[in-house]
Every structure is written in C-alpha cells, then in structure tokens.
Amino acid sequence: MNRILIAYSTTDGHTPCICERLKQVIAQQGHVAEVVALDQADALDLAAFDTLAIGASIRYGKHQPQVAQFIARHQALLERKANAFFTVNIVARKPEKNRPETNPYLIKFLRQISWKPKLLGVFAGKLDYPRYGFIDRTMIRFIMLMTKGPTDPKSVIEFTDWQQVDAFGRLLSELSRD
C-alpha cells in the first residue's frame, strides 16, 4: 500500500472536488491518499509519501504563484518520488485543449518551471457565475464570449469529465508502484 499526497491550489473551490474524487479512486486501488491545500502541505513530512501530486486551478490564464514557489522549494524531493501534476481550467472544456500536449496553460506553465512531472493531467473546471464577484463575472463572461462559451450570468456549469479524472486516479495509483 502506497501513500499518495495530493496537494492543491484552488481559486473557486472546484479543484479540491477533483482531488477528493482522485482520493476515492486511489482508495479503490488499495492505496491511501491525503488531500491538502498547497499552502498547508509544507507542514507535512513530504518525504513520508511515496507519491506527490500537485493540482492547480487557472484564473485568467495563470496558476497561482504559490504553485511554482512550492515546486521550486521541493523540486529535489519531487524528482526523487513518483510524481504528478494536473491543471484545472475552463478552456479544457474543448476537446482539442483537454490533454497535456494540447492545453495551452499547462504547456506554458511547464516551460516556466524546470521540474518535469512524470504524470500530467488536464481537467475541465466549473463555471459558476453567481459565485463570482462583479469584476470576475464580467471578465469571465467577456472571455467566454470571445471563446464561444456560455455567457448567461446565472449559469453554473460543471465541465469536468469525471471518467477522465477516474482514469487519472488509476494512473496515479499505478505510478506509485513504479
């Protein structure tokens, strides 16, 4: 049985939902996963985990700065362990942008860091206009208009392909056996 840490950074709270689903899949594979916010992960003994996974949401085309900072602080350990990185973003709702090799945000992020994760994932997020403040709602509606996405300010749409999340969880479990 392997111990897998899933540390996440979130903007609107959907990334932890994906992490919890990964935890369930990992448990079904006979392993133990712990889910923790990235800003709390430093308090853990990271070396005690067999696999380290990082999940991060996107807002306005960027991951939160703490993601790259955490990776830089722990890169040596990440490289010694089985490891994974996944991103959660609305652009991944489009089939041509929902894979690691086609998602522009993941590609850009990987060019900005020197760590090369062993397993990569991309998941479509959730659009929740009523939850956003006025400025975010307006900006996101404008982005959606430009990208031919939903613009109704009352819309709540979950684009996440849960079968894709489950498949990633199984791969993450297998990765820990290597």
What's the rounded Cα separation, in Å, for the pair 131 and 149? 17
The tens place of each residue's pLDDT in the chain, 178 residues long, gives: 889 999 999 988 999 999 999 999 999 999 999 999 999 999 999 999 999 999 999 988 889 999 999 999 999 999 999 999 999 999 999 999 999 999 999 999 999 999 999 999 999 999 999 999 999 999 989 988 988 889 999 999 999 999 999 999 999 998 855 4
CATH 3.40.50.360 domain locations along the chain = 3-125+160-175
Q: Which of 73, 12, 62 is nearest to 39 (CA)?
A: 73
Collapse the DSSP code of 59 into the 3-class scheme (helix H, G, I; strand E, B; otherwise coil) and give the result: strand
**According to the model, what pLDDT value does residue 87 have?**
97
Confidence (pTM)? 0.93
The one-letter code for the residue type at 72 is A
Superfamily of segment(s) 3-125+160-175? Flavodoxin domain (3.40.50.360)
Q: Which of 48, 14, 25 is nearest to 159 (CA)?
A: 14
The residue ranges of DSSP E strands in 38-172, in sequence order, are: 51-59, 62-63, 82-89, 119-124, 126-128, 156-158
